[in-house]
Structure 1
Amino acid sequence: MVVIEQHFENYEIGTCRLTFGRTITEADFVIHAGQTGDNFPHHMDAHWCATQDFKQRIAHGTLIFSVGIGMTASTINPHAMSYGYDRLRFIRPVFIGDTIRVRATITEKRDHKRADMGVVVEAIEMFNQKDETVLVCEHLYLVARKHPLAPPTRHEP
């Protein structure tokens, strides 16, 4: 891990990061099912899946989300923390043997109710080995400001 010290003011719209690929394995399916209790046949029953539209097991959406987000975690910024995720969508299925990679792009900066913090929005796009989008979401970061905003002034009637 690399430590970077970056305040809200330092983030630039359009900054983009791209990860290396990671191949999804059957072990990933089994471990994720064991950790979450999600043993639905869509993920775990190869014979049943052979009778369905995709003809094979599909990865848990939460597995792909977790692995993909983990792939983007390459730096530690003591001035920022994850604030959550918005607009999460599973676009295409991921299968055993597919290789995913992630592009993360800063798309927005906005004020937070705390004058000493701001919100940085990063668009997350996950792709398979065919460059098809498989998952999208927005990752929100709560980031300390180097220079806090002045508190709003109150106007008396």
Structure 2
Amino acid sequence: MERPRYFEDYVLGEERRSHGRTITETDFVVHAGHTGDFFPHHMDAEHMKASPFGQRIAHGTMTFAIGIGLTASEINPLAFTYGYDRLRFPRPVFIGDTIHTVLTVSALEPDPRRPDKGRVVESCRVVNQRGETVLACDHVLLAERRPAA
């Protein structure tokens, strides 16, 4: 476990990177089974040969789940996820792509409803092996403020 970090311990511009993860056909099948999303974009190779992509594309929700899951390397008992904002999928993910996630602290804000907490905003970019951003969003954490001395 990492050392506990209060809101005041986060630094604007600090960055962390995940390890890589190669996307497989099994990922597509398991995600479709979990979600019920069997759209041909994800499951029908013949159908997608005639598409502009030329092959099946990953579910956006799968890319999000795996990309964000890769960041679960820091355990901070003083902070928890409040949500995700501005989620976008600027490029597709294909079977065989290897993705990793880059997190950058982009804002440190007071929480208007909770004076004992602050909001840490991490800009998330999921990047493929070609350096292309395939997912972008903001991860908002609520972190405890350091108690008064």
User: Would the TM-score normalized by the shorter structure come out above 0.5?
Assistant: yes
How far 1:140 moved relative to its partner? Answer: 0.3
Deviation per CA, 1:23-79: give whole Å up to 9, x if none.
000000000000000100000000111111111000001101100101011021110
Q: Distance in 1 between matches of 2:138 and 2:122?
A: 6
Match of 1:119 in 2: 119
Q: Which residue of 2 aligns with 1:19?
A: 18
Matched, 1:34 2:33: yes
CA distance in 2, matches of 1:86, 1:62: 14
SS at match of 1:65: helix
Matched residue type, 1:142:
L
Q: 1:147: Cα distance to partner? A: 3.2
Deviation at 1:4, TM superposition (A): 2.4
The AA in structure 1 aligned to 2:80 is M
Deviations 1:58-113 (A, max 9, x none): 00011011001010110211100000000000010000000001100001010112
1:6-155 correspondence runs (5 A): 6-112=5-111, 113-147=113-147
- Count of residues in Structure 1 that have an aligned counterpart in Structure 2: 147
Q: If the length of structure 1 is used for normalisation, what is the TM-score? A: 0.91
Q: Which runs of 4+ in 1 moved over 4 A?
A: none
SS in 1 for 2:109: strand
Residue ranges of structure 1 left out of the alignment (5+ in a row):
149-157
Structure 2: distance between partners of 1:82 and 1:4: 17
